[in-house]
Chain A
Amino acid sequence: MAMIEMKNVSKWYGSFQVLKDCTTQVEKGEVIVVCGPSGSGKSTLIKCVNGLEPIQQGEVVVNGVSVGAKTTNLPQLRAKIGMVFQNFELFPHMSVTANLNLAQIKVLGRSPEEATEKSHALLKRVGLIDQAKKFPGQLSGGQQQRVAIARGLAMDPIAMLFDEPTSALDPEMINEVLDVMVELATEGMTMMVVSHEMGFARKVANRVIFMDEGEIVEDATKDDFFGTPRSDRAQQFLSKILHH
């Protein structure tokens, strides 16, 4: 059974169709990179996985649980799926530690001491233990994104979703975030990553999904994708982003 399964997913904003019959799956331990031009529905697709975006047709199943089903306890399901956003979305009114502790205490029912211990271990791991008492606004973008990754990991997730984790960062900060992600991938975390970082894809992805105009145009193994992308659109896209 796949960890994440999307079956014929379609979604409309009014009469505009953002997702067209998307089908794919992510196996346990797999790293999938989703790329494509802006407005192609990548972010919408990944937000369907934890139900942040409702879908009108098709089905998304995570770890055997249907995300859209009325009987599904969505908060409980989401707690098991970490998510990292383009704009970090750390809570600005809470310290770094409090950001990591919040859901551990409120959702998982951990004691504040347990949560803090876990948070500090993760902050050490992303190299930010010195910043534990600071507020998000006092950190650089790269640091904030690493805190956001740690916040996701604090919930002991079964999979991590990344929605363009490096596209809001200054160039010199991209690598510090990618390094953390590569480490996660090599440790066997199941990951679905919307990103244009083809270097990252080459290094750790199992498969690459290419989307255009709401469709999954290509869903290929990394070697196939970078070797001989079958569609013209994927070839054009690659030649545009790889040449600088």
Chain B
Amino acid sequence: MFAGFDFDVIQRALPYLWQGMLFTLGLTALAMVGGIILGTLLALMRLSSFKAVSLPASAYVNLLRSTPLILVIFWFYFLVPIAIKQISGDSYAQGIGPFHSALIAFTLFEAAYYCEIIRAGIQSVPAGQVNAAYALGLNYWQATIQIVLPQAFRNMVPILLTQGIILFQDTSLVYVVGLTDFMGAASKVAQRDGRLVEMYLFAALVYFIFCFIGSYAVKRLQLRITPPR
């Protein structure tokens, strides 16, 4: 089966593919951190008893979750420069570049998903814990930061990382705005050298290894951080 297989193609392309992989990992990490921070705020907003706070967060989450990711990436790439021109009134104003627009798109999109995960995590913390915190004189933010979120995140770590693994795969969509991630790099080499089978098999293998290690780490972490109850 591997008779016509050209391993040399892969080897020659490795430095270029590595560049792509660094891009993929960087974008994943940044979007994950941004998404979790923004998602936490959105989750707290959604759980607020004030309608004026919870409704905008719900609307945001529902809008983003009913939109394809690729469309959100497009929007930010093409619409943000137009918006900047409109707002600044300068028709030569520059956009924010493909990387930043993709990063913002991923962050905003992931935040909607993280919000729902974190909301469930917050709700999994027993109400008695919050009462105990309040009874000691802690205010809302102290109770949230000291008592609720640490317990919520402990319950959520596996699913947050699983979402991160999905994000890692989804970053391959940046090709639509002309960025070169790992998948994009593999694709370009495949087209250039006419070695589609080798490159795409190799790409699949790399994605598999990264995601498998990620899942395994999640499992190990889950065992380690579960506090005695």
Which residues of A are at the interface with B, using a C-beta cutoff of 8 A?
Answer: 47, 50, 52, 75-83, 85, 87, 89-93, 102-103, 106-108, 135, 137-138, 151-152, 155, 161
Contact = CB atoms under 8 A, between A and B. Distances in A.
B137 A76 contact: yes
A138 B228 contact: yes
24 contacts: A47-B131, A52-B131, A78-B134, A78-B135, A78-B137, A79-B137, A87-B128, A89-B129, A91-B132, A91-B151, A92-B151, A93-B151, A93-B227, A102-B138, A102-B146, A103-B137, A107-B136, A107-B137, A107-B138, A108-B137, A137-B229, A138-B228, A155-B136, A155-B137
A60 to B, nearest CB: 15
Contacts of B26: none
Q: Is the interface of B mostly helix, strand, loop or mixed?
A: helix
A106 B134 CA distance: 12
Q: Is the interface of A mostly helix, strand, loop or mixed?
A: mixed
B17 to A, nearest CB: 42
A82 B134 CA distance: 11
Contact of B129 (A77, A79, A91, A107): A91
Interface of B: 126, 128-129, 131-139, 142, 146-147, 150-151, 154, 227-229
A30 B147 CA distance: 32
Contacts, number: 73
Nearest to A161: B135
Given A52-B131, A85-B131, A135-B227, A93 B137 contact: no
Contacts of A85: 128, 131-132, 135
A203 to B, nearest CB: 26
Contact of B146 (A47, A81, A83, A106): A106
B156 to A, nearest CB: 13
- 4 closest A-B pairs by beta carbon, nearest first, are A79-B137, A137-B228, A89-B132, A103-B136
A144 to B, nearest CB: 11
Given A92-B228, A137-B229, 11 more contacts: A78-B135, A80-B137, A87-B128, A89-B131, A89-B132, A92-B227, A93-B150, A93-B227, A102-B136, A107-B136, A107-B138
Given A102-B146, A137-B229, A75 B129 contact: no
B139 to A, nearest CB: 5
Contacts of B138: 75, 102-103, 106-107
B148 to A, nearest CB: 10
B151 A135 contact: no
A149 B131 CA distance: 15
A82 to B, nearest CB: 8
Contacts of A77: 137
A137 B154 CA distance: 15
B141 to A, nearest CB: 10
A151 B136 contact: yes
A75 B139 contact: yes
